[in-house]
Amino acid sequence: MMPPSDALLLDAPPDLPAALLAPQAGCMNCDLRPVSICGALVDEELAELAQLSERRSFAAREVLTIQGDRSDVVFNVLAGTIRLYSLLPDGRRQIVGFLLPGDFLGLSMEERSPFCADAVVDSRACCFRRAGFQEFLDRKPHLLRRLHRAAVQEMTMAQHHLVLLGKARAEVRVLSFLLHMRRRWSAIGGRSSVTVPLPMSRQDIADYIGLTISTVSRTLTALERDRRILIVPDGVRLLDLPGIEASVAGG
């Protein structure tokens, strides 16, 4: 793994405060504390947890976990985006989710990784040895409750993914994905924005929503031509949010 380096910090996507992608030195000053599992801890407990953690940087496409391998480390994402995917028997890749700053990788607490995980872009995370984190968790029932809440949110996202894959029209799948990512980024930033950061590639989007990359590209081009979205560097701007929400609601 690559050593931590400030050179790997990302520029903030459109309309997202840079502080949320570049945590300050020390857990006490981390801007992600309110939206991560660490928000359940008081200062003294957080200092104790910090003794168990190591901040690491991951280059784009660097692997964090491999499906089926023993996973001795859990991760709290600080910056960037992590891609979760399954390798199918025929060799194809099915992306099952994206982790954003404040998300936790290792909620299942299983010894073997259920998915592969790698960095979409240069990313950073607080890393914990599973055994030490589990022992800390056993002594902090309020942190366990916070993890349970995060697990429920993860299940909700999985259900959203299933609903998304069940939608017939490509346009609705793409728009549903954009609204989903908008809600997630807004939860981190604490405010809504019509600009949706998309650090992942169009191929990633296609693999997530069950379309081909050519269909995703054609759909985005058509939506921009119809002045419903504007494609900007590293994201899209939703020009007709009420209309987009109505299209998704109508299926």
* pLDDT at position 94 over 80: yes
Contact (Cβ atoms closer than 8 angstroms) between residue 119 and residue 81: yes
Please name each of the domains of the chain with its CATH number: 6-161 (2.60.120.10), 168-250 (1.10.10.10)
Quick one: how far is CA 223 from the chain centroid? 25
Can you give the pLDDT at residue 190?
Answer: 66
**Tens of pLDDT, residues 24-60:** 346 777 888 888 888 888 889 988 999 999 999 999 9
**Tens of pLDDT, residues 176-193:** 999 999 999 998 876 778
Q: What is the DSSP string of 18-70?
A: GGGTSPPSSGGG-TTGGGSGGGGS-HHHHHHHHTTEEEEEE-TT-EEE-TTSB
Q: Give the torsion through C-alpha atoms of 172, 94, 11, 50, to 10 deg.
A: 120
Helix (H, G, I), strand (E, B), or coil: what is residue 111? coil
**Tens of pLDDT, residues 117-158:** 999 999 999 999 999 999 998 998 888 888 877 777 777 777
CA-nearest of 114, 47, 53 to 78 is 53
Mean pLDDT confidence for 98-116:
86
Model-level pTM?
Answer: 0.82
